[in-house]
Amino acid sequence: MLYAFHEMQKSLGAPMRFMAEMGMNWAQSDGNPWKDLPPNDFLAASSELTIRLTKEYPKLPFGIHTISVDGHTHAIEETVVAEKPFCQLRRFSKVGAKGEPRILLVAPLSGHHATLLRDTVRSLVQDHEVFITDWRDARIVPLAEGIFHLDDYVTYVMEFLRSLGPEVFVMSVCQPTVPVLCAVSLMAAQNDPLRPKAMIMMGGPIDTRVNPSSVNNYATKHSIEWFERHVISRVPAKYPGFGRRVYPGFLQHYGFVAMNPGHHAKSHWEYFINMMRGDGPGDTDAHRKFYDEYNAVLDLDAAYYLETVQRVFQEFRLPRGVMEVHGEKVAPAAIKDIGLMTVEGGEDDISCPGQTYAAHGLCSNIPQSRRNHLLVEGCGHYGIFSGSRWRSIVYPAIRDFVAKERLAAKSGEVTTTPRRAGKR
């Protein structure tokens, strides 16, 4: 009923959007005699804001066609190299580039599309051949494709690593740090020759008992039965995934906004005022660009979502040493010859400082010379993989770590030391 009610709300809002679109068209029409008067500015601004607050946002393309490196422009090739029912593996590389380090970038499956890491990919592809997990919206996956479990996520990561190995580095952002550590641990225990050379883990919930956030506390205060009753719904008949049990993206979006409603309200008010004043396009375009991505969400298969809540955020199975994948125990201590770098934001209120660093304690047999930790002071969750701090602080550190680990694989271990980045 929850999903059906949401669809009904969208239908009921259609007349309002239609009227707003008419108002927008009239405000911009050359036939409007009041086009240059203040009331018209109010009509245009209020109409556009109404449209943006009520419309459904589609998934955007990555749109990375060229990059500039050292003053030279390079064309970027984007291809799909693997297809799975719940994921596409996309490859980004500079046209004509050869021999660059391969990075498997595992994107979060937690409400937003993989395109949220567009800035991450844009930086990485300067010096690497990048492969990213582009997760599918569960509402477009037919029920005949089966159910997607957390264990299946781990299996996907292992299959992708084997298809790209052995000279591959794996980088996980936020939620996938746990399944990636599980996948690499299992491959290490099996002495898999295609295991990655190194792991980069960024802002993830390895151990949410450490410095718990409001998100972590919310998960522990409610039973898994409560989550199943209150946030799980079935996909309506209008979508290919009709009948699939999902955690709807629109609920996840409400949660994102509820974490900081004042910030979002202020942002939209300033956007409205800027349109009223006719200020330059810089601020308004930046607002549109951010919310076009932020408001584009996807549904999660219910099994995967509930298992993640229970096993990662309620039972802490990985740090407690009781995590299993398809009946096989996960032992991070089995990792001995794979480098580890962790990255945290000092102001991260989603995966707070210390939660990702906990991976070092679990991976007890990785030599100290192949460990690195970067704490970026004054940086929030999104800032560690997007924006100015990502580009000026985090990416250069990751690039150097990959280069040293690549050298270590050929000529022995290379010492890396913990880093702490100050405010900028």
pLDDT tens-place string over residues 31-88: 777 666 666 778 888 888 877 777 788 899 999 999 998 889 999 999 999 999 999 9
Distance CA 304, CA 324 (A): 15
* Model pTM score: 0.88
Three-class SS state of 103 = strand
Say how many C-beta atoms besides its own lie within 10 A of residue 191's C-beta.
Answer: 10
Amino acid 174: pLDDT: 96
Please state, for a pLDDT cut of 70, what percent of the chain lies above it.
90
Is residue 138's pLDDT more than 80? yes
Candidates 1.20.1090.10, 3.40.50.1820, 3.40.50.150, 3.40.50.720; correct CATH number of 67-217+301-421? 3.40.50.1820
The number of residues making up the chain comes to 424
Say how many C-beta atoms besides its own lie within 10 A of residue 9's C-beta.
Answer: 11
Is residue 415's pLDDT more than 60? no
Q: What is the DSSP letter of 258?
A: H
Q: How far is CA 46 from the centre of its chain?
A: 31
Residue 417 binned pLDDT confidence (cut-offs 50, 70, 90): very low
Residue 414 binned pLDDT confidence (cut-offs 50, 70, 90): very low
Is residue 416's pLDDT more than 60? no
146-193 tens-digit pLDDT? 999 999 999 999 999 999 988 999 999 999 999 999 999 999 999 999
